[in-house]
Amino acid sequence: MKITNARIIVTCPGRNFVTLKIETDEGVTGLGDATLNGRELSVASYLADHVVPCLIGRDPQRIEDIWQYLYKGAYWRRGPVTMAAIAAVDTALWDIKAKIAGLPLYQLLGGQSRDGVMVYAHANGRDVAETVDRVGEYIEKGYKAIRAQSGVPGLSGVYGVAKDKFYEPATKGLPQESVWSTEAYLDFVPSLFEALRVKHGMGPHLLHDVHHRLTPIEAARLGKSLEPYRLFWMEDPTPAENQDAFRLIRQHTVTPIAVGEVFNSIWDCKDLIQNQLIDYIRATVVHAGGVSHLRRIADFAALYQVRTGCHGATDLSPVCMGASLHLGLAIPNLGVQEHMEHNAETDAVFPHSYTLKDGYMHPGETPGHGVEIDEELAAKYPYSPAYLPVARLADGTLWNW
């Protein structure tokens, strides 16, 4: 079998997605997600101008060889654009291999290690009362794990708080700016989780995304102040370029830590995992080199009893969600999978086999990763430039969004 063509499909059913479709001489095709929020066209170009010419004529079954060819052969290794491009190729090739085998992808990854993949939902509100209600709604829907994000008194445009139902951070036009105050946030967040535990008890898994906003010692303080509420995890407490920063947090708190949605390779998390500085690795299929590389990261993490908590926000397409669920069903060290519902238009553009029931998802039994694309429908939604916001402190200092 030979690869005869590979096309990049850019569509915007409510938000932008970049999808790679690999075609073969035996008519078997595979899909890979290549969406990098706010920088979509850079990956589309990397694929179209640099990667696709290298794929034509190759045997699609040689996944590992093609991965190494695109990683080492690029000379310029790692980074979000390169690794999203490699991820799209890798995911599409696994889709093809599983279709050739006539098996759902998880069977090629070792079969089911559990009956379903526990997922967490996103609850957010403008204030404590609204957030408490939203969490209650998701508990009603059967979710076992819910992330809680609330507006902070005195701050506008806080991360994770939706203007309407779904929180979509990227907005049309130039990046929106919001003012951040760590003091207001640190003094407020414990009261949110106090209210959530008083209302919903200690049963539900509660998660919170700090979204890279604190310094290591501030993160240590937050983790400590949240200990009575036994969070499932505190996510991205501080930027992770300096992996040693997490030693300071660990010294002061036992609140579990999740990191990694912005990671692109095993090198970004090796020290964090090896030194037991995190409990959940959030690297995901589309941004960390595909199924092949994410499997490597998960296997490495398992050695240190670190579990996966893969990123699954709406800017990661259903193709990524499908592949991520197959991996999550098979690996021994799944922690939880993030699940933000895509809108109806997106679900129509990307018909898929995965299902949700009582807080658990299953990728389905369709050969491949179970997600396809309706190209005719996709063409109805042209690309629309959008940017992620930026944050500044009250004195105008540019801060971590």
315 binds ligand CS2 (CB under 6 A): yes
Asked if residues 33 and 286 have their Cβ atoms less than 8 Å apart, the reply is yes
Provide the token pair at 134.
Answer: 């939203």
H or E stretch at 272: helix 270-274
338 binds Mg ion (CB under 5 A): no
- Binding-site residue total for Mg ion (CB under 5 A)? 1
Q: Strand 117-125 vs strand 337-338: parallel, antiparallel, or unpaired?
A: parallel
CA torsion, ordered 67, 72, 78, 83, to nearest 10 deg:
-20
Contact window for ligand CS2 (CB under 6 A) among 175-183, 249-257, 309-317, 324-332: 309-317
Task: Clarify whether 383 is annotated catalytic.
Answer: no
Nearer to ligand CS2, 16 or 29 (CB): 16
Q: Strand 390-393 vs strand 398-399: parallel, antiparallel, or unpaired?
A: antiparallel
How far separated are the first and last CA of the chain, in Å rounded? 46
261 binds ligand CS2 (CB under 6 A): yes
Q: At closest approach, how far in Å is the CB of 277 from Mg ion?
A: 17
Task: Clarify whether 311 is annotated catalytic.
Answer: no
218 binds ligand CS2 (CB under 6 A): no
- Among 122, 205, 208, 211, the one annotated catalytic: 211
H or E stretch at 273: helix 270-274
Q: Which of 209, 268, 279, 315 binds Mg ion (CB under 5 A)?
A: 209
Q: At closest approach, how far in Å is the CB of 356 from ligand CS2?
A: 17
366 binds ligand CS2 (CB under 6 A): no
**Segment 373 to 392, residues that bind ligand CS2, using CB under 6 A:** 388
- Rounded to whole angstroms, what are the CA distances from 325 to 228, 320, 329? 32, 9, 6
Q: Strand 177-180 vs strand 390-393: parallel, antiparallel, or unpaired?
A: parallel
313 binds ligand CS2 (CB under 6 A): yes
Q: Which of 97, 211, 307, 369 binds ligand CS2 (CB under 6 A)?
A: 211
Taking the C-alpha atoms of residue 261 and residue 24, their distance in angstroms, rounded to an integer, is 32
H or E stretch at 330: helix 318-330
Taking the C-alpha atoms of residue 302 and residue 207, their distance in angstroms, rounded to an integer, is 21
Residue sitting closest to Mg ion (CB): 209
37 binds ligand CS2 (CB under 6 A): yes
Q: At closest approach, how far in Å is the CB of 59 from ligand CS2?
A: 34
Nearer to ligand CS2, 282 or 352 (CB): 282
Provide the token pair at 386.
Answer: 């959008």
Q: Which residue, among 8, 33, 20, has the nearest Cα to 314 in the 3D structure?
A: 33
Contact window for Mg ion (CB under 5 A) among 62-70, 74-82, 209-217, 393-401: 209-217
- Among 46, 143, 159, 185, the one annotated catalytic: 159
Nearer to ligand CS2, 155 or 388 (CB): 388
Taking the C-alpha atoms of residue 142 and residue 140, their distance in angstroms, rounded to an integer, is 5
Q: At closest approach, how far in Å is the CB of 161 from Mg ion?
A: 14
Q: At closest approach, how far in Å is the CB of 338 from Mg ion?
A: 8
Taking the C-alpha atoms of residue 298 and residue 334, their distance in angstroms, rounded to an integer, is 8
Interacting residue ranges for ligand CS2, rule: CB under 6 A: 37, 169, 209, 211, 261, 311, 313, 315, 338, 388
The residues that are catalytic are 159, 211
Interacting residue ranges for Mg ion, rule: CB under 5 A: 209
